[in-house]
């Protein structure tokens, strides 16, 4: 059993009607001719034929659009002369877009008693453990006696978390991070899964909810179709995660090789006998290092392993990478 919309999928022009009154109420009708391949096909088959608008679609033709008028009723009548031809009347109205029958915002389908027009918002926090690269203060004790006190303010910045041999802790230290979360749920007239896919795990490129760009991560927007009294709408839900320190992933500038350029060899005596290009970093005793060594941000070892340096003298570099793309949140009209 199948049904095909005639006239290249377009409505029969002669049957288009419209209504527009002073209150803002607008109604439209479009009649489609549908041909079935069996005389036993009924109204359910023809109303769901490919090309027939779906409940919740807004009024749209080649020449005009009314995003506040939604399809709320379909009526199928068999042709009196041909049992395999049906006329499907699709009725649109702005009355389905607000509780009092007036034109609304074009997003929410409405019976206020059963559908929440305003979004439901819930502020919360989530906590997780994250690797810590810097500390605000470092105290070193020996036999219960304080022998070193490094304060982030005194040293001109936060204190790198390395041991007294200037080496990484393995495993690294972790700290508790509290992340602000906004959970949102609301009813909308239509849902575009391709648009939702584009915005999944994306950062805001605009100022949004009073927060600056690149501070809000939008989690995937989920949707559940709801069918109610001839209307179709969607209940969407999503979460927004907030980080005021921006969404960057930090990693030490470290490795087991350093890169020597021609300029390095010409301008710095310590590179005079090095090969141009990549060189495996060596310990002070000329043996090859077996673990990553901190770099100076220019592709060179920060210190040669084995050098006798004070902990304060080694200030490691950290790369900050952003792997999430940014897009404006305003056009989504979530809130």
Domain of residue 257 covers: 250-321
Q: Does 244 reside within a domain? A: no
In a domain, 145, yes or no: no
Report the predicted TM-score, pTM, of the whole model to 2 decimal places: 0.57
Q: How many CA atoms lie within 13 A of 98 on its CB side?
A: 14
Query: Which burial class, exposed, middle or buried, applies to 237 when counting CB atoms under 10 A from its CB (0-12, 13-18, 19+)?
Result: middle
C-alpha distance across the termini of the chain, in Å:
44
Residue 270 resides in a domain: yes
Does 257 map to a domain? Answer: yes
Please state, in angstroms and rounded to a whole number, the distance separating the CA atoms of residues 24 and 101: 8
293 occurs within a structural domain: yes
Count up the domains in the chain and report the number.
Answer: 2
Q: Which of 68, 97, 126 is the last residue of a domain?
A: 97
List all residues 6 or more positions away from 199 whose beta carbon is below 8 Å from its beta carbon. Answer: 218, 221, 327, 332
Last residue of a domain, one of 63, 97, 131: 97
Q: How far apart are CA 223 and CA 214, in angstroms?
A: 25
Q: Is 19 domain-assigned?
A: yes
Q: Does any domain span residue 175?
A: no
Cα distance between residue 38 and residue 183, in whole Å: 50
The answer as to whether 268 is a domain residue is yes
| Tens place of pLDDT per residue across the chain (335 aa) | 578 888 877 887 666 677 776 666 788 888 998 988 877 788 888 888 888 888 778 888 878 888 877 887 888 888 888 878 888 998 888 765 543 433 333 333 334 334 445 788 999 999 989 888 788 888 999 988 998 888 866 666 678 888 877 677 878 889 898 999 999 998 887 888 888 999 999 999 999 999 999 999 999 999 998 876 666 788 899 999 999 988 988 888 889 999 988 888 888 877 877 888 998 888 888 889 888 888 888 888 887 776 665 544 567 788 889 999 999 998 888 88
- Determine the longest span between alpha carbons in the chain, in angstroms: 103
Measured from the Cβ of residue 177, the count of other Cβ atoms closer than 10 Å reads 14
Domain end call among 34, 64, 97: 97
């Amino acid at each position: 059993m199948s049904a095909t919309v005639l006239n290249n999928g377009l409505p029969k022009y002669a049957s288009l009607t419209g209504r527009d009154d002073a209150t803002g109420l607008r109604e439209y009708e479009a009649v489609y001719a549908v041909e079935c391949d069996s005389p036993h096909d009924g109204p359910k088959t023809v109303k769901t034929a490919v090309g027939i608008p779906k409940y919740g679609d807004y009024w749209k033709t080649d020449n005009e659009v009314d995003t506040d008028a939604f399809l709320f009723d379909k009526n199928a009548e068999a042709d009196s002369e041909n049992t395999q031809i049906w006329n499907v009347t699709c009725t649109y109205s702005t009355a389905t877009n607000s509780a009092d029958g007036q034109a609304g915002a074009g997003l929410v389908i409405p019976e206020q008693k059963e559908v929440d027009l305003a979004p439901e918002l819930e502020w919360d926090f989530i906590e997780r453990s994250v690797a810590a690269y810097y500390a605000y203060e470092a105290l070193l004790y020996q036999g219960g006696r304080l022998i070193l006190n490094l304060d982030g303010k005194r040293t001109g910045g936060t204190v790198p978390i390395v041991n007294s041999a200037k080496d990484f802790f393995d495993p690294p230290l972790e700290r508790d991070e509290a992340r602000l979360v906004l959970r949102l749920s609301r009813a909308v007239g239509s849902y575009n899964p391709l648009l939702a896919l584009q915005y999944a795990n994306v950062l805001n490129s605009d100022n949004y909810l009073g927060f600056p760009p690149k501070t809000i991560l939008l989690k995937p927007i989920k949707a559940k179709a709801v069918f109610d009294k001839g209307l179709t709408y969607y209940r969407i839900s999503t979460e927004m995660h907030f980080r005021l320190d921006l969404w960057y992933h930090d990693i030490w500038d470290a490795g087991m090789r350093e890169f020597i350029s021609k300029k390095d060899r010409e301008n710095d005596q310590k590179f005079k006998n090095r090969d141009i290009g990549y060189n495996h970093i060596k310990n002070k005793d000329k043996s090859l290092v077996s673990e990553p060594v901190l770099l100076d941000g220019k592709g060179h070892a920060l210190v040669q392993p084995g050098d006798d340096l004070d902990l304060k003298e080694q200030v490691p570099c950290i790369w900050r990478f952003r792997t999430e793309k940014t897009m404006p949140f305003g056009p989504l009209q979530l809130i």
